[in-house]
């Protein structure tokens, strides 16, 4: 496999000299194309800072992040919006859908803004909605469907442009366990069938058990890394739980 994302010795400090927080402290790792990577760690361990640095929302204090051959820490501010639109798909805990737009309009919004012909948008929206199992909800508003359907709509919106990297920040955090499982099964099939590369921040052990590899952050550093390999999801779940217990962090086991 080829390395898609390379995090090269990044530091992110907040505050000033006398009151400095090292949110990320010499973090390095790579993500291969087609990987489903989980980032875990207790609150304050640096997960959001890491995700936002990869999302080009934060500037790192030092170090480099490469997506393919491109050093994204060197992007100029006027290049950021286009870079994100072309390369990244975002899924947030609270969906971030536009309430006055139908699911169909929400999913196709990025393409509409780019002036893609309506017919093409329609076929792409329908294809994405089919993948996420929300094809019958397209004419409804976000307030007329369940949280799980809203999150799968957000996921369809994120994949519409076939981004190189899907970034998910606690995507199951606002969902009941059944909806969470449906979403995670969608992630799994996007990863296996479309070879989508997914980076998911979570503190939920059940969600993490769908990943192929997990990095554990503690105090801004990578504390541990485990691979699912050929293990069953149930065995991987137990392994994750053991690491989390060892770290003494506060996490949920999703039940
Ligand atoms: P997590 O997502 O794992 O909860 P964060 O990345 O939000 O962790 O935070 C990592 C550390 O950086 C914490 O100690 C947090 O208090 C600190 N931090 C995060 N954002 C800021 C900020 N804007 N200003 C100062 N400190 C911050």
Instruction: Report how far ligand 1's centroid is from the alpha carbon of 59 (Å).
Output: 14
Q: What is the mean pLDDT of residues 244-254?
A: 69
pLDDT value at position 17? 84
Residue 2 has pLDDT above 70, yes or no: no
3-state secondary structure the chain: CCEEEEEEEEEEEEEECCEEEEEEEEEEEEEECCCEEEEECCCCCCHHHHHHHHCCCCCCCEEEEEECCEEHHHCCHHHHHHHHHHHEEEECCCCCCCCCCCHHHHHHHHHHHCCCCHHHHHHHHHHHHHHHCCCCCCCCCHHHCCHHHHHHHHHHHHHCCCCCEEEEECCCCCCCHHHHHHHHHHHHHHHHHCCCCEEEECCEHHHHCCCCEEEEEECCEEEEEEECCCCCHHHHHHHHHHHHHHHCCCCECCC
Cβ of 45 below 6 Å from ligand 1: yes
Cβ of 53 below 6 Å from ligand 1: no
pLDDT tens, 34-44?
A: 999 999 998 99
251: pLDDT confidence band, cut at 50, 70 and 90?
low
pLDDT > 90: percent of the chain = 89
**Nearest atom in ligand 1 to 45's CA:** 3
Cβ of 14 below 6 Å from ligand 1: yes
Cβ of 62 below 6 Å from ligand 1: no
Question: Distance between CA 135 and CA 129 in Å, rounded?
Answer: 5
Instruction: Report how far ligand 1's centroid is from the alpha carbon of 69 (Å).
Output: 29
- Among 154, 160, 148, CA closest to 121: 160
Pocket perturbation via mutation, ligand 1, pick of 13, 40, 44 by most ligand atoms within 8 A of CB: 44
**Nearest atom in ligand 1 to 41's CA:** 3
Question: Distance between CA 239 and CA 250 in Å, rounded?
Answer: 16
Q: Which pTM does this prediction carry?
A: 0.93
- Provide the mean pLDDT of the chain: 93
pLDDT tens, 112-165?
A: 988 999 999 999 999 999 999 999 999 999 999 999 999 999 999 999 989 999
Question: Distance between CA 193 and CA 187 in Å, rounded?
Answer: 10
Residue 254 has pLDDT above 60, yes or no: no
Instruction: Report how far ligand 1's centroid is from the alpha carbon of 221 (Å).
Output: 13
Task: Give, using CA atoms, the residue closest to atom 22 of ligand 1.
Answer: 14
pLDDT value at position 10? 98
């Amino acid at each position: 496999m080829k390395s898609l994302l390379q995090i090269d010795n990044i530091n992110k400090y907040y505050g000033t000299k006398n009151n400095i927080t090292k949110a990320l402290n010499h973090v390095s790792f790579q993500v291969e194309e087609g990987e489903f990577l989980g980032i875990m760690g207790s609150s304050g361990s640096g997960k959001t800072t890491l995700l936002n640095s990869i999302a080009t929302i934060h500037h790192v204090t030092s170090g480099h992040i490469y997506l393919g051959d491109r050093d994204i820490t060197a992007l100029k501010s006027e290049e950021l919006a286009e870079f994100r639109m072309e390369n990244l798909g975002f899924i947030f805990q609270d969906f971030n859908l536009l309430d006055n737009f139908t699911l169909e309009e929400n999913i196709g919004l990025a393409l509409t803004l780019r002036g893609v012909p309506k017919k093409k948008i329609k076929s792409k929206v329908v294809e994405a909605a089919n993948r996420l199992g929300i094809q019958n909800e397209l004419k409804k508003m976000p307030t007329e469907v369940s949280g799980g359907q809203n999150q799968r709509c957000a996921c369809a919106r994120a994949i519409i442009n076939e981004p190189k990297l899907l970034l998910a920040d606690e995507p199951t955090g606002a969902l009941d366990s059944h909806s969470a499982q449906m979403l995670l099964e969608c992630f799994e099939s996007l990863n296996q069938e479309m070879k989508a590369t997914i980076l998911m921040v979570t503190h939920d052990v059940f969600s993490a058990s769908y990943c192929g590899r997990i990095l554990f952050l503690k105090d801004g550093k990578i504390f541990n890394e485990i691979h699912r390999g050929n293990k069953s999801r149930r065995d991987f779940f137990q392994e994750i739980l053991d690491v989390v217990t060892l770290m003494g962090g506060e996490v949920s086991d999703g039940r």
